[in-house]
Chains A and B, each alone.
Chain A
Amino acid sequence: MRKLTYIISALLLIGAQQVDAQTPKGSLLIQHATVLTVTQGTLEDTDVLVQDGLIKKIGKDLSASSKVETIDASGKYLMPGIIDAHSHLALDVVNEATAPITAEVSIADVINPFDVGIYRALAGGTTIAHGLHGSANAIGGQSITMKYRYGTRNPDDIVMKEAPRTIKFALGENPTRVHGRGKNIQPRTRMGVEAVIRNGFNEALQYKENWKNYNSSKNQKNSNAVPPVYNLRLQTLADILDGKIIIHCHSYRADEIYMLINVCRDFGVDKLVFTHVNEGFKVAPELAKYTMGASVFSDWWAYKFEVYYSTAYNAAILTENDVVTSINSDSDELIRHLYHEAAKTQRYGGLTDEQALALITINPAKQLGIDEYVGSIEEGKQADLVIFDEHPLSVYAVPQMTFVDGVKYFDINEDEDDQRLKVSPTEMVEPVYLQAEEESCMHGVELFTEGTTFTHSH
């Protein structure tokens, strides 16, 4: 018996090592860069030594073994890999729009590592993106944090294993349109959205209670306790209540943001991030005190009514009110120049370089619960790095090289015309898409909504 245990353990260990080995890790020495650490200021003419995927040392005149690639970054800028807290890029399916609560489904099941969009994002300096379920449901599916290790054919290699679990919630026009107006079931109003979420949490409390009662009685003598029926949807909600999952909530209006803050406070949930959050600026003090922050668009507005009373100064107001703020893309296009989206906060609200860079690095890392690993250039952190030819907040900045775990995935000098990993064997004529198609929050809900399609449907 004991022998068997040893054998199984040994096999498991080998298995674990193999899983580890699948994720490549690189070593390199970047010399003479202007290092934008984000958390520890700007270091002129500084070297960064990367060993096996981690930042080993930051300083002057560092040396590495001759086997390690050395990059002369004189006159160039080095910043942490850009992190997008809200994306639907490289996901085959986005919306399980069949019920107001679908906490049981997971985006991890639909990652498409072949999406050339990953390469394009890397070419824009983005190394990590939070791949979210869509916004059709008040409580949508579980999301996934991805490291853009382009080239792998295995979706698992793209998953950032250290990242905590996250889930998508959605308020306002999208869930009320899909369910209330599209299917004539709750929610049709923002009151209904609140009720759906409260009902879900209360059911989860009951479910937890049932399991607790069963677990405490099953070992009692002569117990005839029957286990409750396992329910992944309610178990996931229970995990949220237990603080095991971070909520990322699609939201626009101040009233609905305030509502969910209150709901979460009532249920003792404090792992809560608001996303898009166009009217977040109106409840900035509440966001600062009760949430893990807000992830906003730099300037999108007026594409639907709930974003009509918006301001491009949102990120600046939130930042000045001490909300942990990030700029997200929600777009296969914007994800390629989040450094530029962050720079707009200097026009709209005059944020400093450091504040603006934090919006796309350490702040989204905090919102995803991965800030101990990534989001700044610090010794011991994972070597997700980008080299720019000019300061990344300049409109003229062009990303030169992008590294994930010290492995180079983009180099402007090695950029080929065609970076696809696979080509369709059946398509004689290559499609030319006249309109930029984006995997938006409402992708795949056409069946449930009648009438017009939208240019922006986030």
Chain B
Amino acid sequence: MKKFNLTIYLLLLLLIPVVSYGQIEGEVLKPQNGKFLLQGGTVVTVTNGTLENTSVLLEGGKIVAIGTDLDAAGATVLDCDGQYIYPGMIDSGTRLGLVEVGSLAETQDYAEIGNVTPNMQALTAINPNSVAIPVTRVSGVTTALSVPSGGLFPGTAALINLNGYTPDQMYTGFKGIPMNFPTSARRGRWDRRSDEEIKKDAEEAMKNINDIWDRATTYAKLEEADAELTYYPEMEQLAKAVRGELPLLIEVNKADDILSALKWIKEKEVKKAVLTGVSEGFRVAEKIADAGIPVITGPVLALPARSSDRYDAAYTNPGKMLKAGVKVAIRTSDTENVRNLPFNAGFAAAYGMGKEEALKAITIVPAEIFGVDDHLGSIEKGKSATVFVADGDPFEPKTQIIHVFIDGYKIPMTSRHIRLYQEFLERSPGLEE
């Protein structure tokens, strides 16, 4: 009798923690750090070819070994037989983390007031807990450039890895200053300016930009000369571009404007420049190649800029620039659907770029443009353990992404989109009469 009571008491005691957790939701899947062996897959290294039946060992946030008989003592082994191992995909132009709900001003943190605000730091406003981040990274897109927009110099863009609890933990080594190059194009169908007005506006904008750049150059010179400077954060930031510490990411799309931008870069002796957008790059591809300026283009899934253009102008643009000898990276320019990066690359591949080059355009090429190819952009020993495993070509919609690693962290393969799927695929109660 006494023994029976004791058993009951013990059982009750065991129940206490269960009861007290009754109000708490189920298991939370967190990113896991550790030693992982991706065993026996097809490794698409990007820089050193494709290796069949090869393993990749990840430890301490790094790729420590690539080969066949790896010492995997203490490692979690993930069987990758029949699967493909890729470096994480890099989207070189997004608003990821800077906006949560597109139409709600309260959640828009990509456009500060003012025409010249290069000192506005995207990294400050990136929300590590944005719902869009897990939605993105489970697709194998592990890294994104988050770019402020609006005005002439809207701020400073930052390259982030899509894991971490603070912006600094996500930051992965590159910043750049976007510049919206003055355009001589009509801004849209609602733009009712006459041709003359457009020309005049463009000329004024050029004068304005020259004036600003000259001021930044002066500021840089004075700084070098150890002059005592009054507080001028805008120029302090632009001076970094003048000195070549931070590249200028020059957003330019119309063919004429691209040529003007190339001329401007040369005249002003801009030390590090990257062209972004470049939707009419195909029209002046040779000139871009001659200038040796790299290009970040996209979205590829876009309408042609002119109604007279061939229907596939945006699809074929990256391939045409590449063929002319331009270094081309691909971006989505998206916020919540950065996960479409592989599909943008896939269309570029289908329309002239080829699969291999399109993959480079979202891995090693942006890594090189951003100067982070020492740790990102390919599967090489010593590089960051930022890789993903898929059951096929990641550009193909039917391919499933199986594992994602960011800086050595094994990312839980879940997101709000997936949780809603799990909850609602079979609803209970179902239909109530």
Q: What is the distance, in angstroms, from A120's C-beta to the closest C-beta of chain B?
A: 4
CB of A316 within 8 A of CB of B430, answer: no
Considering the chains assembled together, what is the distance between the CA atoms of A397 and B400 in angstroms? 19
Please choose the segment from B209-217, B371-379, B416-424 that sits at the chain A interface, where 4 or more of its residues have CB less than 8 A away: B416-424
Q: What is the distance, in angstroms, from B160's C-beta to the closest C-beta of chain A?
A: 18
A21 in contact (CB, < 8 A): no
Considering the chains assembled together, what is the distance between the CA atoms of A302 and B302 in angstroms? 20
CB of B103 within 8 A of CB of A311, answer: no
B228 in contact (CB, < 8 A): no
CB of A301 within 8 A of CB of B400, answer: no
CB of B101 within 8 A of CB of A333, answer: no
Cβ-neighbour of B425 out of A320, A395, A420, A451 (below 8 A): A320
Q: Nearest chain-B residue to A344 (Cβ)?
A: B397
Cβ-neighbour of B350 out of A285, A320, A395, A416 (below 8 A): A395
Q: A116-B307, A337-B301, A456-B102 are in contact. Are A302 and B350 (CB under 8 A)?
A: no
CB of B132 within 8 A of CB of A302, answer: yes
A343 in contact (CB, < 8 A): yes
Count of interface residues, chain B, beta-carbon cutoff 8 Å: 63
CB of A434 within 8 A of CB of B185, answer: yes
A195 in contact (CB, < 8 A): no
Which residues of A sit under 8 angstroms from B104, Cβ to Cβ? 304-305
Q: Nearest chain-A residue to B132 (Cβ)?
A: A302
Q: A301-B336, A343-B398, A346-B398 are in contact. Are A434 and B254 (CB under 8 A)?
A: yes
Considering the chains assembled together, what is the distance between the CA atoms of A94 and B280 in angstroms? 30
A41 in contact (CB, < 8 A): no
Residue of B131, B304, B308, B311 with most chain A CB atoms under a 10 A cut-off: B311
Cβ-neighbour of B103 out of A312, A397, A454 (below 8 A): A454
B409 in contact (CB, < 8 A): no
Residue of B100, B312, B342 with most chain A CB atoms under a 10 A cut-off: B312
Q: What is the distance, in angstroms, from A352's C-beta to the closest C-beta of chain B?
A: 10
Q: What is the distance, in angstroms, from A94's C-beta to the closest C-beta of chain B?
A: 13
Cβ-neighbour of B302 out of A119, A281, A333 (below 8 A): A333
Considering the chains assembled together, what is the distance between the CA atoms of A381 and B187 in angstroms? 44
CB of B279 within 8 A of CB of A313, answer: no
Considering the chains assembled together, what is the distance between the CA atoms of A415 and B183 in angstroms? 30
Residue of A288, A436, A456 with most chain B CB atoms under a 10 A cut-off: A436
CB of B302 within 8 A of CB of A436, answer: yes
Which residues of A sit under 8 angstroms from B305, Cβ to Cβ? 432-434
Other contacts beyond A310-B420, A427-B195, A431-B186: 9, CB < 8 A: A120-B304, A300-B337, A303-B103, A308-B131, A309-B416, A313-B420, A347-B399, A430-B306, A455-B102
User: Can you give 11 contacting A-B residue pairs, CB < 8 Å?
Assistant: A286-B431, A300-B337, A305-B103, A340-B343, A395-B349, A396-B355, A417-B310, A419-B311, A432-B253, A432-B280, A433-B303
Query: Residues of B with Cβ closer than 8 Å to A?
Result: 100-105, 131-132, 183, 185-189, 191, 195, 198, 253-254, 277, 279-280, 301-312, 335-337, 339-340, 342-343, 346-347, 349-351, 355, 395-400, 416-418, 420-421, 424-425, 427, 430-431
Q: Closest 9 CB pairs between A and B?
A: A395-B346, A313-B421, A343-B397, A303-B102, A346-B398, A285-B431, A432-B185, A302-B336, A431-B186
